[in-house]
Amino acid sequence: MSVKANSRPNVVLGVTGSIAAYKAADLCSQLVKAGCNVRVVMTADAQRFITPLPFKTLSRHAVVTDLYDEEEGWQPTHIRLADEADLLLIAPATANCLAKLAHGHSDDALTCIALALNPKAKLLIAPAMNGKMWLHPATQQNVRSLQQRGAKLIGPEEGILSCGYEGLGRLWEVNGIVMAALKLVARS
């Protein structure tokens, strides 16, 4: 599935600190190939798993790694990206990220973008974490809160987790996330 040639949806791809962060590079690549204009925002923890360079190369844009990263112009980058976004896709999303989003915390570029997101933009979240963290009542309450506010979630799925456990918590398959993202921007 790809988007129409005359409309290039603006996708902000948020990458958080999960071992699954390396899969976000493939996600970025596939979204660009499908015709999306992808801007990547990485949390400090995400940068412990993968560097910004692959995302810069794949997206053809500078990667936002800090709330105070500023490009040309007068408008703060996080506000401009929030205004221009058709979709904010957070993949992988950690339990910490879900908690911040659910409670309106905005202490980094990604959570500030989420809080300032234009009302027409969609929010798609692909969680990835330890199964006990995913099933914890606090995380489940945060998920319900986000869904009540219109966020769409995809996953997590079951399988062998990087922590050695088996269960629910793996990042959803990249192709499935891409398809869900493209459906959401096609409706914009």
Residues recognised as catalytic: 163
DSSP 8-state code for residue 4: -
DSSP 8-state code for residue 64: B
Q: Which residue has the tokens 């959803």?
A: 172
User: Going by C-beta distance under 8 Å and a sequence separation of 6 or more, which residues neighbour residue 156?
Assistant: 126, 127, 128, 129, 134, 168, 169, 170, 171, 172
Rounded distance between C-alpha atoms, residue 118 and residue 88, angstroms: 10
